[in-house]
Every structure is written in C-alpha cells, then in structure tokens.
Amino acid sequence: MELKLVMNKDAVQGKVNELIESKAQRDELAGRVGVLEKVKGLLLLPNMEFATNRQIAEFYEVPVKTIQKIYTRHIAEIREDGYTTMTGKMLAENLATDMMSTAKVTREKGHILIEFDGMATQIPYSTIGLYPKRAILRIGMLLRDSEVAREVRTQLLNIEEKVSKEVKVAEINNELELQMELARALMNGDVQAVALVNAKIIEYKNRHIAKVEAKLNEVTEERDSLGEKVSAFIESDEVYTFGEVAEGIDGLSAQALREFLQVHGVLGHKSRGEVYRPIGKYKGLGWFSIQTRVAKWSGVMFTNTYITTKGRMEIAEFYKKVQAQEMSA
C-alpha cells in the first residue's frame, strides 16, 4: 500500500510563518548551520567562525541596516547564539599577529581593509558585532524580504519535512498493522486475540497521548525558562558603550545616539570634565550606569557613562517609537 503525504501551499506558508514567529521552532533548527553553505557561499572573517553585520548583509543581499534592526529586535535570542563584540582595531591587531593567518590587513582612513582568499571586507576601527554561524542562520529565519533567507528557510523545512515524513510513515504503518491484526482476529472469531490486539491499540494511543503531554510540558518549561533568561538578561550588570548600542539602532554613530537622547530630554549636556547624565523622568529608569575604571595600558582612572542592558533594549524601542511618530506627523 503506497502512502503519499502531501503538503499544500498554505501548509508550507504556515511553516514559514512559524519559523519567523516562533522562537521555539528557531531554537530547534538553529544548529543546522550546514544549510548556509548549501544555499550560498558564506564569507567569514579569516581564522574565525564569525561574520560582521556587513558580511551577513552581503550574504542575505539586504542593507546593513536591516541586519542591525533584526539584531535590535531579537537581541537576547542572538546573544544566546554566541554573538560578541570587539573593536575593529583589536581584531586587526589579532589578525596581524596571528602566524596562521594569511589575511592582509591594511589600515585605511576611516576603516580597516581585510583581504583573504581572494575576498575583501571592510571593518570600522570602532566596536563591531561578531555573529557565529548559529546566529547567522537564525537571522535567515527572521528575515522576511530576502530571497536568500527564503531559500535558507526552504532548505530547513525540507530537512524537517524529510525527517517528519519518515516518522509519520512509520507511525501510519504501525497503526495499519494493528488494524489488520484486529481484522484477522475478528474474522477468525478469536476472542482472546481480539482482546490482545485491542490492548495493543489502547497502549499505542496512550503512548501518543503521553508524547503530546510531554511536548506540552516541554513547551511550558521552555516558556518559563525563556522568561527567566530574559529577566536575568535585562537585570544583568553588563553595560555597553554608546557606540555598541548605536550600532544596533539604524547604524547610528555614538555621537548621533547621544545627540538624539539629548534632543529628546533623556541626557543632559555635560560640562568639561563631567560625564553625560540622565535628566528628568529618565533618571530613575535604570538606562545608564556611571562607572569609574582603570585604563588597561596606562593605569589612569577615568569615569564614563555606560548604557545598561535594560537601557539598550528600551532605548532602541524609544528610538523606534520616536521615528514612527515623526514619520506619521
């Protein structure tokens, strides 16, 4: 008996939407990084399993700002995948002193040029975000308007569907065998065999119910765990420079972000020798942290205003809200 499992267009679209909208589904597939190379050659930084915003934008054939927006909206998720930051200057120094690296590093005005394997990429001297393959794949699951991302999702769904079909066919065959066994017992008038097969069918169905309940418990636990992670992330002591936060907000510079916050009454103007401080109702929101540190190389103490994890997320939302209001005005 031949069994055909057909997935219609609506079902396919439903699965695509699930990838875009469901973190649980993305988490399940985020480890299948081999899909990236199947779809298109992915250029990573030399001797590193990381790519920059620019490299990811080139891979998915979208503007850099689009990648930055995805990062801002899903910051906790992408950081869980291993996202990190480093200054372009430090990255260039590491490559220049790496005896195993064949990359050519050229310091140019305003950026650093890295050439390797017949390819070239530019990075700024300031802090840059570095994404591992897992995060790059996750971005592909989140991007809506990218042909490359659509192909990535198709490949992921093909893999999932192949595994799913194999499981479904095996389950259907098991159920058919039990039904045929029951039919034979009924035709033979074997009451004992009928009772035995019925017991097998009940056990089979109970096993499926247990699987569904286990999956429901798993999803509930995942939801609770995710809530705890997000809370811990927001409440963490980690702080960021204005440049690090600005990078994820429409590609702003640190200065542009400071000016935006000053114009909209979040930060005050500083006098010489002072630091930027929140003003008005923004004093108590926990967006900023003023810290005194010791310079690594000179040993000189300095005081700066940093942005907290809570501030990073809420400032990005505040910026989007202001932009939307200005566009609709």
pLDDT tens for each residue of 198-228: 777 777 667 766 665 666 666 566 566 555 5
Let me know whether 117 and 14 are in one domain.
Answer: yes
Q: Indicate if the alpha-carbon torsion angle 156, 159, 163, 168 is positive or negative.
A: positive
Question: What's the total number of domains in the chain?
Answer: 3
> For the chain, what is the mean pLDDT?
78
Let me know whether 225 and 247 are in one domain.
Answer: no
Q: Which of 123, 24, 69 is nearest to 316 (CA)?
A: 69
Q: What was the pLDDT predicted at 9?
A: 47
pLDDT tier at 139 (50, 70, 90 boundaries)? very high
Let me know whether 52 and 139 are in one domain.
Answer: yes
Q: Tell me whether residue 36 is in a domain.
A: yes
Tens-place pLDDT, residues 243-255: 889 888 877 889 9
Let me know whether 222 and 279 are in one domain.
Answer: no
Let me know whether 224 and 322 are in one domain.
Answer: no
Mean pLDDT lowest for which of 100-114, 136-150, 208-222? Answer: 208-222
Identify the residue with better confidence: 174 or 249: 249
Let me know whether 66 and 185 are in one domain.
Answer: no
3-class DSSP state for residue 236?
coil
* Mean per-residue pLDDT, 39-49: 82
Query: What secondary structure letter does DSSP report for 267?
Result: B
Q: Tell me whether residue 161 is in a domain.
A: no
Angstrom distance (rounded) from CA 117 to CA 96: 16
Let me know whether 86 and 129 are in one domain.
Answer: yes
User: pTM score > 0.85 for this model?
Assistant: no
Task: Encode 53-116 in three state secondary structure.
Answer: HHHHHHHHCCCHHHHHHHHHHCHHHHHHCCCEEEEHHHHHHHHHHCCCCCCEEEEECCEEEEEE
CA max distance for the chain: 99
Q: What was the pLDDT predicted at 267?
A: 94
Let me know whether 13 and 97 are in one domain.
Answer: yes
Let me know whether 94 and 197 are in one domain.
Answer: no
Residue 15 has pLDDT above 70, yes or no: no
Residue 75 has pLDDT above 80, yes or no: yes
Q: Which of 201, 195, 194, 58 is nearest to 136 (CA)?
A: 58
Q: Which of 75, 73, 71, 69 is nearest to 250 (CA)?
A: 69
**Given 86, 114, 149, which residue is the final one in a domain?**
149
Q: Tell me whether residue 310 is in a domain.
A: yes
Q: Which of the given ranges, 5-14, 16-25, 26-35, has the highest pLDDT on average?
A: 26-35
Q: Tell me whether residue 202 is in a domain.
A: yes
Domain holding 315, by residue range, is 239-328
3-class DSSP state for residue 234?
helix
Let me know whether 224 and 102 are in one domain.
Answer: no
Q: What was the pLDDT predicted at 215?
A: 63
Let me know whether 17 and 136 are in one domain.
Answer: yes
Mean pLDDT lowest for which of 55-64, 82-91, 255-264? Answer: 82-91
* Mean per-residue pLDDT, 156-166: 59
pLDDT tier at 259 (50, 70, 90 boundaries)? very high
Let me know whether 113 and 243 are in one domain.
Answer: no
Q: What was the pLDDT predicted at 61?
A: 93
**Given 149, 181, 199, which residue is the final one in a domain?**
149
